[in-house]
Amino acid sequence: MKAFCLIICSVGIFLSAKAQPQVTLRLAFNAERNQYEVFATPNFSARNFTWGPSQVSVVLPVGQSKDPLSVKSTVAGSWSDNSIVLQPQSAPNALFHGITSPGGKLNMTAGEEFLLFDFALPAGYVENVRLFDNASDPGSAQPGMKGGDFRSYMSDEKGADYLVVKSAPALLSVTQGVLTAPLTDEQPLQVVAYPNPTTSGTFRLFLKGFDSSETVTLHFHSIMGIEQKRLTDKVGNLTGRAISVPDLNAPYWLVVLERTLTNERFSQKIWIQN
């Protein structure tokens, strides 16, 4: 029995040692900082690992800014948006951004996630922002891609590629403040305040299903139901904009979004976390 266990254990150790070194990437949205963040998790440990020339591509839905993304570098060199293809024939509802880095040296610990880089969009949170899917997104030879290769990769000093990409869209996560109206003919209207609770007294709005040119009014009511503040603007100007509550001393504020033309109202509490 001991001999059998020794053989099995030895095989397990051998397979573990021979496991393919990989770095898994995922995209998340940070509601507090109003930004998208690309995280990396290695399945191996290494000191002064040579993270070579790399590309991590981001896919945006149509209707977003066509300008290069403003990328803040964190590790593995200086990251920048150096390649853009907008609404190619092979993917007319997508905007492709190739974010590249010359690379650098860094220490990595197996299983420990770290922030690779981050970026923000003018509209704040947007649905269906994701990382490029090497398996299903169009390649360089497909119509409208202009020869651009947006595959994500990272090579070490020997040219070996380590990246495994999770291409699921980043989600908006809040514990309070999600309201959905009855279904319209096209899609539900959704009002999400984030972050909620807020520690700074500042929040932003994600408004789904609204026309950007529609004018709406925000009413701020105290716990006693007294209106303390009112803000009227177009949906396009309110989406992703930093909005402050009238007073941080209250445990929450009731915010009512009123559609001027239809007289519909969406109300929710913005909680203040001290």
CATH code of the domain in which 186 resides: 2.60.40.1930
Domain count, the chain: 2
| Range of the structural domain that residue 224 is part of | 178-271
Give all strands of the β-sheet with 202-208 in edge-to-edge order.
178-180, 190-194, 202-208, 243-244
CATH of the domain at 95: 2.60.40
- Position of tokens 């003919």? 185
Residue 8 pLDDT > 50? no
Where residue 10 falls among pLDDT bands split at 50, 70, 90?
A: very low
Q: Which of 262, 268, 267 is nearest to 184 (CA)?
A: 262
265 lies in the same domain as 129: no
The confidence band for 239, taking pLDDT boundaries of 50, 70 and 90, is very high
**What are 92-121's pLDDT values in tens digits?**
999 999 999 999 999 999 999 999 999 999
Non-local (6+) Cβ contacts of 200 within 8 A are none
pTM given for the model: 0.86
Is 126 found in the same domain as 227?
Answer: no
pLDDT band at 18 (very low <50, low <70, confident <90, very high): low
Per-residue model confidence as pLDDT tens digits over 148-191: 999 999 987 787 889 999 999 999 987 665 555 544 455 578 88
Instruction: Give the whole-angstrom CA distance, residue 157 versus residue 53.
Output: 9
Q: Nearest CA to 95 among 69, 134, 119?
A: 69
Residue 6 has pLDDT above 50, yes or no: no
In sequence order, which ranges of the chain are alpha helices (DSSP H)? Answer: 2-17, 235-238
